[in-house]
Amino acid sequence: MSDANFRRFTETPYNSPMSVLGIGVDLVECVRIRRSIDRFGDRFLRRVFTDGEIEYSMSMKFPERHLAARFAGKEAVAKAFGTGIGKAMGWRNIDIRKKGNGEPFLVFSGPAQELAAKRGVTSALITLSHTEHHAMASVVLESTTAQP
């Protein structure tokens, strides 16, 4: 992804009027992710998460908490687009990464990137949080173009 695309989704252009295209929120029980890992192992991980998401989460003391937050983030993105996961975009088309300061950001690929371009998304903001038992994510998609 070029630097222009990276900035496109990680920095809100505050000098431009913004229009909210969609908001999505999701809450996941961490034990649900733990059970999926125990039951399906790598098959589950590779179907849902990108290599970077797996590498980061598995390096943490409680990987299921970080994976659950990313799972919630992917669901929140799909809700913000109003599409769900499946026909419009796949799990791995939504990549949740971290800046050097720890702030999460989104990178879309394939159908998710195409949908973002079609809808005029200029900013995709995400926040993640987790506790021992739950993980949540909130996503806001914005555009500088007026929406009908």
Catalytic residue set: 79, 130
- Distance, in Å, from the CA atom of 140 to the CA atom of 81, rounded to the nearest integer, reads 9
Longest dimension (CA), the chain: 49
Residue with tokens 């630097």, as numbered in its chain: 3
CA dist list (Å): 44 to 2, 13, 14, 56: 30, 37, 39, 16
